[in-house]
A and B are shown apart, each in its own frame.
Chain A
């Protein structure tokens, strides 16, 4: 299973765009990249998933370079409620495929 490396923490202010980068040098051909958000005392919540290039949904964008050895989660115009831990995971998408969590990035958004 590919191992991921993320910054331990990041600080931002309301209204700014936040980019969190994740390294996954050993990503396998069948692996997808998925980002989750976790608030204290809650289960993680799916944000976005991608395989290559760029993926965008209503809450975030995911940028994946051609070599797929890293990815960047982009959160546009963050608010205080975006303060959370963000996890980058890589793995196969099959129903039985487990996902291993790395350390995650604690994003602190200030007014």
Chain B
């Protein structure tokens, strides 16, 4: 099946620094990717929809200037957490559907655990 890969899987950073997480669709093209955030023992919360070649669409309550999303190609979307603080520590997960794919299955990456000290 289709594979979505995230990098890094784990990152620890100091408060105030910025962290970039990459999401790649390895064997299919994705015009749209989705970024989720998940806190311990909670469900996934949709943060934003990443659109190739255009601005991302953010969910209500998600700061677009803090969570910068860039979808520069049909196989890569990046999420940058700017000026990270301890409350940004979370599990970030990206997902995508294959462009033109028949089944509508949403493929998820392995997730990236961010710890802000």
Contact = CB atoms under 8 A, between A and B. Distances in A.
A42 B103 contact: no
Contacts of A53: none
A87 B105 contact: no
A16 interface: no
B110 A49 contact: no
Interface in A51-87: 87
A98 B49 contact: yes
A34 B97 CA distance: 13
Q: What's the dominant secondary structure at chain A's contact region? A: loop
Interface residues of B, number: 32
B44 A101 contact: yes
A101 B36 contact: yes
Contacts of B51: 96
Interface string B22-40: 0000000011101010000
Nearest to A1: B46
Contacts of A49: 103-105
B105 A46 contact: yes
Contacts of A28: none
B74 to A, nearest CB: 11
Nearest to B95: A43
B71 to A, nearest CB: 12
Interface string B57-83: 000000000000000000000000000
A99 to B, nearest CB: 6
B93 A101 contact: no
A98 B32 CA distance: 9
B73 to A, nearest CB: 16
Nearest to B1: A46
Contacts of B104: 32, 34, 49, 92-95, 97
Nearest to A95: B97
B108 A43 contact: yes
Interface of A: 32, 34, 36, 41-46, 49, 87, 92-104
Given A43-B108, A43-B109, A103-B43, 10 more contacts: A34-B105, A36-B108, A41-B91, A43-B95, A43-B110, A49-B105, A87-B44, A95-B100, A96-B49, A98-B46
